[in-house]
Structure formats: structure tokens, C-alpha cells
A and B are shown apart, each in its own frame.
Chain A
């Protein structure tokens, strides 16, 4: 059976001084301001939905070609193959729904921690050192 889709959260670079100031002022009015941009379901699995759409288009083309002449009836079976490929893609998405939840959690955790660090830091230098120190701890074995 198809493998699960591993969803990755690309960790962004440490915010610049301007971004830090903007975030700090946003967080004074709304403490949950950074939690908004969670990746959506359709954008996360966009590649797989595109595969399904391409499969359906090819299936329709072949089915249409199969109708042209009775010697081309074998194309109906090829249509079936494309439909099975579409189903496999769909199963992969269903299989990976818990990974999608994991991605949302990773995303939320990252931005929650970022908001805490922004609030805890008085100036940009201490914020930068804190974030970069955490990145180093994450990367060293």
C-alpha cells in the first residue's frame, strides 16, 4: 500500500529587527496574533490533489478516445488504471490525516514559542541571541 505522506514544517530564519518590532507591537494588542497562519488542508496536500486532477483528466481523455471506434475499446481498461491511481492518491491523503494534525501542532508550537520569546525579550539583540541559541541547541547532536 502507499506510504504515508510526511509533512514538513520549514522553520523560517530568525525575524529581522523590523519584523521583531512589528511583531512586538502586534502582540500588545492581540496575544494570539501569530497563531493565525496555519497551513490549510488543501494547500498542504496540493501536490496530491493536483495528481488526482491530472489522473481524472487523463481518464476522461482516454474514455473519450475509447468511444471513437470499437477497435479502441481497450482504452476503457486503461481508463480504469488511471482511476485506480486517483484512488491510491486519495487513500494516501486519508492515511496521512494524522500527519496533517502533527503539522498543525508543529506550526502552532513554533509560533507560540516565538510569541513567548518576543514578549520575554526587551531588545532585538537579546531576542536574536535567544532564538539563535535555541536553533543551535536543536541542530547540534
Chain B
């Protein structure tokens, strides 16, 4: 059994979020011994970016994506041609249960958020993972309330989606957050 999954092919998953395509705070980069983790807020899908390159923004139907975490393996060269080995995404979803349906809704907003500062934060989201040509639905989960915990929460699904993958070791991890998606991460790495 392989220890690390193969890098993903973008054009086989047109609905997959692309790393570095998110907007707003936080854009998070974490380096561990094995992986480089890129966390995006409101990422764009491959189809949406293709559409923008064609000069047609905003017409493509796509799922509502809240957060994505792209894992790049450090065993392969990192650079502009690097592809993630796994992408974990928190998206809008619905779970049908005998008690009724649970659909993604926003958390109750704070006073500042209610008068226009900050965004609404989703509460229950569907967690999905893309790796080695497959797309896993990992079920509905409640997102943590703090931004700082979202990255660790999503990285926790690595072992669920790919039990044989090398686990993320946070003991030597170097995490940085960037206030915008303007590629400032590249200067800092």
C-alpha cells in the first residue's frame, strides 16, 4: 500500500477547488515535515477559473464552497507546477435523517457582523475529499467557531479519507496566515 496518494489531475475534477484561489481572510499556509497545507476561504473551482480565463465571470453553476485545504506532498518538488495530493473541502450540503433534514445555515451573527462587519459563518457543512481520482463525501460536520481551529479541524479528515497516508505532524509545523489572496504567501515562503 502506498504511503502517500498521487497528485490530483485538475481537469478530471472540474468542481474541485484550486489552491490559492480563495478570497478574504484567512489564507493560511502551514508547513509540516511531510506536507505543505494551503487553506483557502471561499475558493474557486476549476470550472470557475476556466470561465474567468475565457472572460465570462460568474455564470458557471458550482457548489457553494466555504473552506478548502489543499495538501501538497513535500516528497515531490514544490513549484508553480505542483499539484495537491489531496483536497479537503467544506461545502454547502444537506443531510436527511429520520428527525428531519440538516442543511448548511449560518451561525447566529454577532452584533458587529449584523451591521455589516465581517461575514456570516456557516455552521454545519458537508466535508468532502478529493484524492487519487475519487471524491469522498465524509458527511455533515459542525465547523468550529474560531477561524484558527478550522484548519486543524479540516486537516483531521486526512486520516478518514486516506487511512494509509502519513499523518500530519504539528510538532514542527510553521503556520502563517495572510490577510488577502494577493499571492503574498509566495514572498513569505
| Chain A residues engaging chain B, CB cutoff 8 angstroms | 6, 8-9, 11-14, 132-141
Contact = CB atoms under 8 A, between A and B. Distances in A.
B9 A132 contact: yes
Interface string B50-80: 1101111000000000000000000000001
13 contacts: A6-B54, A9-B54, A11-B11, A12-B11, A13-B9, A13-B11, A14-B9, A132-B9, A136-B10, A137-B81, A140-B18, A140-B19, A140-B80
B181 interface: yes
Nearest to B11: A13
Contacts of B183: 141
B7 interface: yes
Contact of A132 (B10, B19, B80): B10
A138 B53 CA distance: 9
A105 B84 CA distance: 31
A126 to B, nearest CB: 13
Contacts, number: 50
A2 B36 CA distance: 48
B20 interface: yes
Contacts of A138: 53
B42 interface: no
Contacts of A12: 11
Contacts of B29: none
Interface in B130-189: 181, 183
Contacts of B18: 139-140
B9 A139 contact: no
Nearest to B56: A6
Nearest to A133: B81
Nearest to A128: B9
B36 to A, nearest CB: 14
A139 B80 contact: no
A135 B46 CA distance: 10
A141 B9 contact: no
Nearest to B81: A133
A52 B51 CA distance: 27
A44 to B, nearest CB: 14
Contacts of A13: 9, 11-12
Contacts of A9: 54
A94 B100 CA distance: 54
A11 B81 contact: no
Contacts of A137: 80-81
A141 B53 CA distance: 11
Contacts of B11: 11-14, 135
A13 B8 CA distance: 12
A11 B9 contact: no
